[in-house]
Amino acid sequence: MSKPLVIVESPTKVKTISKILGSEYIVKSSVGHIRDLPRNTKSIPAEYKDKEIYWGAVKPKDFENIYVIPEDRKKVVKELRDLADKAPEVYLATDDDREGEAIAYHLKEALELKKEPKRIKFNEITEPAVLNAIENPEIIDIGKFKSYEARRTLDRMIGYEISPKLRDLGGAFISTGRVQGPAIRLIVEKEEERLSFVKSKYFEIDATCKTSDIEFLADLKSVKGNKIASSKDFDKNGKKINKDREYITEKDCNQILDILNNGSAKTSKIKETPRSGKPPKPLKTTSLQSSARNNLGFQPRKTMSVAQKLYQEGLITYMRTDSIRLSETAIKASREYISENFTNDHLPSEPNFYGDSKNAQAAHEAIRPSGDSFTEPKELLGKYKEDSDEFKLYSLIFNITVASQMTEAKGITKSIEIEIQDDTFGPIVLGISGTTWTFGGYRDLIKDLSEKSQELPDLKEGDLVNIISSNSEEKFTTPPNRYSSTSLINKLEELGIGRPSTYVSIIESITSVFINSESSLKPRILAIAMINNFMKPYFDLYIDYEFSKLMEDELDKILESKNPEEAKIKFLEESYEKIKKHIEGYENA
């Protein structure tokens, strides 16, 4: 007796889902995409060789794409087609995003299915989620596919129309893209900021102080009633920009050091203010990449690769998402863990809710441990070592998810000012501050690893303080940091350019030709020439940040349209007209 066929994208999902569904189903992988636009002129089907087509892949007028099955995918397609012909039902279980919907659509077409396949989606690979999807199948979302198709066609259009012109700069393999261009522009403009930056000199002074019970370090805060100027009190041209700051010179430094080393100091002001620490927000793709970078030293590609493995093994939910929303199931699991492992004061009376973005990926949930009862990190130690990438990343996801549902931390921030009177500088004020946490809240699960503090002395106003030594340091303002892979991705997300599933590929694309990426992203000469000598004069629209964001928004509108095909054609027609005008301007220049 034939069995229902379930097709997933990744071979590594097959084992997990097969265990869940058992022997009553056949689970196979498409190994990613099985159809695409022709890769070159040789790949164009024979029936189109003598016909007019755009960009080696698109029919004129209605912008209908020509799809082919690449040679290296034909064996997979044949195997799946043979299985599908015998199966009473075919379930397409690709990821729930545009990319996944496109794979599902192409499977339907390439396998020439006798009846409509059942489209199933799940945000986590757990038994309840998979079985629920099987019991409640949907149909392929044509709006989502048409949105993907418009994006794919647009990228092909831009690549074929603009990249050949770009090669006038030199190099047979130079090309640009709809999202790569703005990303390269960001890096180039950051480098230009750095090159034009004028350094400014300023000074910092600290003093080692001692009371009867403790030795501590205090910083110079003010002289003559004004706060000491720091790096933020100069502009990029090296000019002083704050009239209310004291810009001390090297001569001033030497005089102040003499006064500190020979003067009598006492506490002049002690201030205590309540402080609260808010729990972290649940993780989305970019915040996962940032957290993994800051806490584990992972680059974005490594983070996503490890997260993909955790997802496919059923340990976390889908890891490509713009959403920070936690489901009721996740909130319940988090609150149960908190109540079982912490005091009642660690559990808010009501769940903590977090807002969402409004784009096409927001239907997803935040990245979190899967299931209705979370697997604790220590439970993975039988499978993963404590120093493994999988254990580290899962622990990070687990801790941030649970911490997001805990209460705020409460503390007292204490500031102490120590003063020496002088005829020339007036009151010379040193300062020290620190926070004492009176209730840990979420911090009892996770702490800010970058937070530094020193023990504060127990002082009252008017107490004498002994200055053991003092020191000055000549410092210079520094130009803005170059982007790292993580900070560039965060900037692209802030600007609304790209989507979670594309960020890592954007970085890989631009670093292959235009950008050096050893420790940070530094533009090559070719990138600077491409942006300043080619794109800005002739194709500025395609590296404009707001325009790039609007294009993403338009793609989302296709998904939501009542007539996605019509919306897709209109979008591509308008895009093509704009490109033609820019090409004409370039050729007439």
pLDDT of 356 reads 56
Average pLDDT over residues 520-529: 93
Measured distance CA(268)–CA(362) in Å, rounded? 53
Measured distance CA(316)–CA(358) in Å, rounded? 23
Asked if pLDDT for residue 242 goes beyond 50, the answer is yes
Asked if pLDDT for residue 172 goes beyond 70, the answer is no
- CB-side exposure of 230: number of CA atoms within 13 Å? 7
* Dihedral pair phi/psi, residue 207, rounded to 5°: -140, 135
* Dihedral pair phi/psi, residue 174, rounded to 5°: -80, 130
pLDDT of 170 reads 64
- Give me the percent of the chain exceeding a pLDDT of 70: 96
Average pLDDT over residues 573-587: 91
In sign, the C-alpha dihedral spanning 234, 236, 237, 241 is: negative
Report angle CA 51, 54, 58 to the nearest 5 degrees: 90
DSSP string across 236-298: TTS-B--TTEE---HHHHHHHHHHHHHS-EEEEEEEEEEEEEPPPPPB-HHHHHHHHHHHH--
* Dihedral pair phi/psi, residue 58, rounded to 5°: -130, 135
Residue with tokens 């900070």: 487
Tell me the residue type at 502: T
Measured distance CA(454)–CA(457) in Å, rounded? 10
Q: Which of 485, 480, 538, 491 is nearest to 186 (CA)?
A: 491
Measured distance CA(217)–CA(203) in Å, rounded? 17
Measured distance CA(269)–CA(416) in Å, rounded? 6
pLDDT of 363 reads 52
E strand spans, 143-236: 201-210, 215-223, 226-228
pLDDT of 376 reads 97
Radius of gyration of the chain (CA): 30
Q: Where are the alpha helices (DSSP H) in 263-388?
A: 285-296, 300-312, 328-341
Encode pLDDT of 60-70 as tens digits.
Answer: 889 999 999 99
In sign, the C-alpha dihedral spanning 396, 402, 405, 409 is: negative
Give 543's DSSP letter.
G
Q: Which of 472, 533, 463 is nearest to 268 (CA)?
A: 463
Measured distance CA(126)–CA(132) in Å, rounded? 10
CA distances from 468 to 12, 252, 261 (A): 64, 20, 7
CA distances from 538 to 23, 579, 587 (A): 60, 10, 9
361: confidence class by pLDDT, cuts 50, 70, 90: very low
pLDDT of 174 reads 59
In sign, the C-alpha dihedral spanning 219, 224, 225, 231 is: negative
pLDDT of 171 reads 56
- Give me the percent of the chain exceeding a pLDDT of 90: 81
Question: Do the Cβ atoms of 304 and 504 come closer than 8 Å?
Answer: yes
Measured distance CA(210)–CA(140) in Å, rounded? 72
The set of residues, in sequence order, having a beta carbon less than 8 Å from that of 262 and lying 6+ positions away, is: none
What domains can be seen in the chain, in order of their start residue? Answer: 5-34+69-140 (3.40.50.140), 145-196+481-588 (1.10.460.10), 201-278+414-476 (2.70.20.10), 285-403 (1.10.290.10)
Encode pLDDT of 334-360 as tens digits.
Answer: 999 999 999 999 999 999 999 754 443
Measured distance CA(207)–CA(216) in Å, rounded? 8
Does residue 519 or residue 146 have the better pLDDT? 146
Encode pLDDT of 431-451 as tens digits.
Answer: 999 999 999 999 999 976 556
Question: Do the Cβ atoms of 368 and 268 come closer than 8 Å?
Answer: no
Pull the structure tokens for residue 52: 């007019």
Average pLDDT over residues 36-58: 89
The set of residues, in sequence order, having a beta carbon less than 8 Å from that of 319 and lying 6+ positions away, is: 285, 288, 304, 307, 308, 310, 311, 367
| 189 alpha carbon, distance to own chain's centre | 20
Active site residues: 318
For the chain, give the mean pLDDT.
92
Average pLDDT over residues 152-175: 79
pLDDT of 357 reads 43
Provide the β-strand partners of residue 471: 206
Q: Give this prediction's pTM.
A: 0.90
Measured distance CA(515)–CA(522) in Å, rounded? 6
Encode pLDDT of 371-412 as tens digits.
Answer: 999 999 999 998 999 999 999 999 999 999 999 999 999 999
Helices 545-560 and 180-196, packing angle to 10 deg = 160
